[in-house]
Amino acid sequence: MLSKKQLFTRGMLDISPHMLSVIPFGIICGAIGVELGFNPYLVYAMSFIIFGGASQIVFLQLLSGGASSLVAVASVGIINSRHLLYGAVLSEYLEKLSFIKKLLISYVVVDQGFAESNKFFKKNRSEEYLHYHLIGTGCTLWVCWQIATLSGIILGSFVPEELGLKFAIPLTFIAIVVQDLKKLDHVIVMITCGLSSLLFFDAPFKSYIIISPLIALFVAALLLRLKK
């Protein structure tokens, strides 16, 4: 049995390699907000209140392009709706927690944190304080995201644009799923999702980000039926 502290530290260690992409992305995100002419305090407030990288950039871009705030808010909701899927997966492991703890832990569920903690949960089902791993990944991401966006807001884009560091984001997610390329069923699901995301990229409110996972999960359900 690992202690709470050991699990928390393990979570921090498991998520730390992803900071290689999260920190530059946070700096870019903060800098874009100021460059587009928004109030720096409001740009930072997004990191605290919304706490979701891609959705924050879309929110800024839509508003600076003159979109209605209703459209911008709806887009953030749709982009982040993928968390519903993460929650459905995590609920199994967090079941024993009290309602209040569930409410608190939800705030720090982010893509990379979900991915790494879910991998850990699958291998260590019997641990009693499993959720401390998720708190470890989530808090590390949270702290780094706050510092990175703040430094982007204060210092501007001191990361040279020519480096194209936004590219680190797809690379981070490649690192997360790459081992599943060994399994044919997962490869089919991944390709379905990827191609659908390109096909539906222009769908309103950035809804490709939830449409394509739903299509891919439908294909996964079909594959499961075939396997039997």
Partner 1 sequence: MTLTSIIFAGVLTYFTRMTMIALISRDMLGDKIKAVLEYVPSAVFPAIIFPGIFINDYGAFIEINDPKIYGALVAIVVGYFSKNIIATILAGLISYWFLIFVIFS
Window 101 to 130, contacts with partner 1 (CB under 8 A): 102-103, 105-107, 109, 111, 115, 118
**Contact status: 52 vs partner 1 (CB under 8 A):** yes
Q: Given the complex with partner 1, which of 46 and 130 has the nearer CB atom?
A: 46
Q: Given the complex with partner 1, which of 5 and 167 has the nearer CB atom?
A: 167
How far apart (Å, rounded) are the C-alpha atoms in residues 112 and 140? 11
**Contact status: 195 vs partner 1 (CB under 8 A):** yes
CB of 3 to partner 1, least distance (A): 23
Structure tokens given for 227: 């396997």
Q: Which of residues 18-37 bind partner 1 (CB under 8 A)?
A: 18, 20-21
* C-alpha 152, offset from chain centre: 19
How far apart (Å, rounded) are the C-alpha atoms in residues 55 and 215? 21
Q: Which residue has the tokens 């950035």?
A: 206
Among 222, 146, 153, which Cα is nearest to 189's? Answer: 222
Q: Which residue has the tokens 């039926």?
A: 225
> What is the x/- site pattern for partner 1, positions 132-171, by CB under 8 A?
------------------------------xxxxxxxxxx
Among 44, 130, 52, which Cα is nearest to 92's? Answer: 130
Q: Out of 90, 141, 148, 153, which residue is the one contacting partner 1 (CB under 8 A)? A: 90
